[in-house]
């Protein structure tokens, strides 16, 4: 609690200082709350200065790479955010959530500016073209679609030649689970759920290359595929191994063996010297020249769900079920920085306790108008009023049937309003702790 008090005091002092010296400037105050659920998507801006994380808590967070500072949150996602991609100029961010449609956000303001969806199909993956004019989506039924960003109109549907690929009839075209574009914008690479990767001419949509996976008993196992920097090679994560293929020869150059299972998130480093992939929550990194494993990353408390290499440096970002994202130096595997919330820190021991894991998280915090107390919204279905000086709990407000996700004081500090994930809002008397009113009211 001493640490909590220190952080809040520092934030308020800095806010006051800035207010005195620049009263005419708009100040954006951000409390570094981090995520309170598993991180399922990560992305770097093209200049490597920003990172974005998407979570099962329905939020996207923007972070400063050099400091680990949380810059802002993007609210409005429907369920888990499982894909993220920055535009080449860093001004737009694309996301895919549980509704399987693309939301476009303005990075600087966190405003949702556009939605791309298909009435009869699910969007699974997304990437911007290098010139920023187009967006490419990988879909469940139509494989890949190119969109004009300025108009939001569909430009072209890209279908592979599936004549000699064994698929169940219900699949139709293979689903494009991953999409990548060469740096010069000439080629589109897709990784599909039929154990096959394809390269297409970006302009014409013509299929140029096909990388067919080994036959297995799994007829719907996805693979992950991405280009190396000059698009002369592709790395493919598949069942039981990670492969580097030569684009011209369409032959396997290197096979990285490992644990049996499905290898996901296969990527080259920015300089093409290393490849990384994940399996069963582990991240492995290999030398792309000889196929030897360099390191297996260790540092998260729980499974790693997503990874990305920085486009300009030796950094890699990983997102985990432990609610944090970490930066690593490759190839050494040294942990450089952790993106996390400081107002909802939890002990390592709590992570192993299913009950305390959720009860411990703080969703929101507000300081009372007189500065003498702090109200905290908790995932344990309650809110607490705490003495600012001592950190002691003054009273607990119980009544929500699900986590408290928002709180606010009345201007005079006599009342506290809470909003819960149970769909209700409640007003409390801060002096007595009694509930004054609940919305919607029972009839």
5-32 pLDDT, tens per residue?
444 444 444 434 434 433 344 445 567 8
268 touches 257 (CB < 8 A) = no
Average pLDDT of the residues in 345-366 = 52
The answer, yes or no, to whether residue 351 has pLDDT greater than 70, is: no
| Domain CATH for 374 | 2.40.10.480
365 touches 34 (CB < 8 A) = no
Mean predicted lDDT score pLDDT of the chain: 85
Which is nearest to 60 in space by CA: 47, 46, 48, 76?
Answer: 76
- C-alpha distance from residue 239 to each of 262, 306, 372, 411, 414 (Å): 4, 17, 58, 59, 60
Number of domains the chain is built from: 2
Q: Is residue 4 part of a domain?
A: no
The answer, yes or no, to whether residue 443 has pLDDT greater than 80, is: no
Q: Are residues 80 and 222 in the same domain?
A: yes
Average pLDDT of the residues in 227-235 = 98
Average pLDDT of the residues in 186-190 = 98
Q: Are residues 217 and 366 in the same domain?
A: no
Q: Are residues 330 and 266 in the same domain?
A: yes
Amino acid 194: pLDDT: 78
| Domain CATH for 71 | 2.130.10.10
How far is the first Cα of the chain from the last one, in angstroms, to the nearest whole number?
41
Q: Is residue 52 part of a domain?
A: yes
Q: Mark residue 357 as left, alpha or beta (left: phi above 0; alpha: psi -120 to 50; beta: remaining).
A: alpha
Q: Is residue 122 part of a domain?
A: yes
Q: What's this model's pTM, rounded to 2 decimal places?
A: 0.73
211 touches 226 (CB < 8 A) = no
Sign for the CA dihedral angle at 38, 47, 111, 190 comes to: negative
- Higher pLDDT among residues 295 and 214, named by residue: 295
Domain around 406: 360-439
Amino acid 221: pLDDT: 62
For 290-354, list the strands marked E by DSSP.
293-296, 304-309, 315-320, 325-329, 334-339
- Is the preceding peptide bond at 331 cis, omega within 30 degrees of 0? yes
The answer, yes or no, to whether residue 166 has pLDDT greater than 60, is: no
Distance CA 75, CA 411 (A): 25
Q: Are residues 302 and 425 in the same domain?
A: no
Q: Which helix (H) or strand (E) holds 13?
A: helix 2-21
374-410 pLDDT, tens digit each:
998 865 678 889 888 777 788 889 888 877 888 999 9
46-84 pLDDT, tens digit each:
999 999 999 998 999 999 999 999 999 999 999 999 999
Structure tokens at 435: 């509930």
40 touches 306 (CB < 8 A) = yes
Per-residue pLDDT band at 362 (split at 50, 70, 90): low
Q: Mark residue 280 as left, alpha or beta (left: phi above 0; alpha: psi -120 to 50; beta: remaining).
A: left
Q: Are residues 109 and 247 in the same domain?
A: yes
Distance CA 192, CA 140 (A): 9
């Amino acid at each position: 609690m001493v640490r909590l008090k220190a952080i809040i005091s520092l934030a308020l002092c800095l806010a006051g200082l800035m207010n005195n010296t620049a009263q005419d400037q708009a100040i954006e105050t951000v409390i570094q709350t981090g995520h309170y659920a598993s991180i399922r998507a990560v992305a770097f801006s093209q200049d490597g200065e920003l990172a974005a994380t998407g979570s099962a808590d329905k939020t996207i967070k923007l972070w400063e790479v050099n400091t680990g500072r949380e810059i802002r949150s993007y609210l409005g996602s429907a369920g888990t955010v499982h894909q993220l991609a920055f535009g080449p100029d860093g001004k737009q961010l694309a996301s895919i959530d549980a509704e399987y449609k693309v939301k476009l956000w303005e990075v600087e303001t966190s405003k949702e500016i556009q939605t791309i969806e298909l009435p009869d199909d699910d969007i699974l993956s997304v990437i911007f073209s290098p010139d920023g004019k187009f967006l490419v989506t990988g879909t469940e039924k139509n494989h890949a679609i190119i969109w004009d960003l300025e108009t939001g109109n569909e430009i072209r549907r890209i279908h592979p030649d599936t004549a000699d690929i064994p698929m169940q009839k219900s699949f139709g075209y293979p689903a494009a689970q991953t999409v990548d574009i060469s740096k010069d914008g000439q080629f589109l690479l897709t990784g599909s759920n039929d154990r096959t990767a394809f390269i297409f001419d970006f302009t014409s949509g013509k299929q140029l290359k096909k990388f067919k996976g080994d036959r297995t008993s799994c007829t719907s196992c996805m693979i992950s595929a991405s280009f190396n920097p000059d698009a002369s090679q592709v790395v493919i994560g598949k069942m039981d191994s990670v492969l580097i293929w030569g684009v011209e020869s369409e032959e396997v150059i290197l096979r990285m063996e490992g644990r049996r299972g499905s290898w996901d998130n296969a990527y080259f480093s920015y300089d093409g010297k290393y490849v990384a992939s994940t399996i069963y929550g582990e991240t492995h990194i290999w030398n792309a020249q000889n196929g030897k494993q360099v390191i297996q990353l260790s540092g998260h408390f729980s499974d790693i769900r997503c990874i990305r290499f920085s486009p300009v440096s030796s950094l890699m970002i990983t997102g985990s079920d432990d609610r944090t994202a970490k930066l690593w130096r490759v190839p050494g595997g040294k942990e450089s920085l952790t993106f996390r919330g400081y107002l909802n820190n939890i002990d390592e021991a709590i992570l192993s306790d299913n009950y305390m894991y959720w009860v411990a998280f703080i969703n929101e915090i507000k300081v009372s108008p007189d500065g003498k107390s702090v109200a905290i919204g908790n995932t344990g279905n309650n809110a607490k009023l705490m003495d600012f000086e001592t950190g002691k709990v003054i009273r607990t407000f119980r009544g929500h049937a699900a986590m408290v996700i928002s709180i606010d004081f009345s201007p005079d500090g006599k009342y506290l309003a809470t909003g819960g994930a149970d769909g209700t809002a409640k007003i409390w008397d801060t002096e007595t702790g009694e509930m004054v009113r609940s919305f919607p009211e029972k009839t």
